[in-house]
Structures are given as C-alpha cells and as structure tokens.
Amino acid sequence: MSGLGPQRELEEAAALERRRRRELLRRGRIFNARIRTIGIDKDALDVQVKERKIQEAAEKAEHERFGIL
C-alpha cells in the first residue's frame, strides 16, 4: 500500500473493516445454536409418526370390526 494515495488507503481500510465486521456477524449466526437450524425437525417428525400409528390402529380396528384381515 506504500505507493497508493492516502484516499485509496482509507478506502481499502474501510473495505477491510466492513469485511471483518460482516465475517463477525456471519460467525455469530453460524455458531449460535439457538439461531442455526441444521438437519431435521425431530419434534415434527415425531408428531407425524404418532399420527401415522394412530391412523394405522384405527384402520386395523375397522378391518377387525368388519372381519377383514
């Protein structure tokens, strides 16, 4: 940066500071487990499994009621 003018050096320093600040904010989002969601929604899947089992049990009871196996 020695051959650059003072205005250019200030612009580059400001750009570098913006990048650093943006990276710190990004790290805060990525490494914050409360904000980050990676993977699956286990609670929602558990509800779906429970609903499916209830549905299957109801169908089985209906089949047994009519003597269908």
Is the pTM here over 0.75, yes or no? no
Helix (H) or strand (E) run with residue 38 in it: none
Helix (H) or strand (E) run with residue 51 in it: helix 42-65
Return the SS3 of 31: coil
User: In tens digits, what is the pLDDT along the chain, a chain of 69 residues?
Assistant: 456 688 999 999 999 999 999 999 888 878 877 766 666 778 888 999 999 999 999 999 988 888 865
Report the alpha-carbon distance of residue 53 to residue 36 in Å, rounded: 31
The whole-number pLDDT of residue 17 equals 95
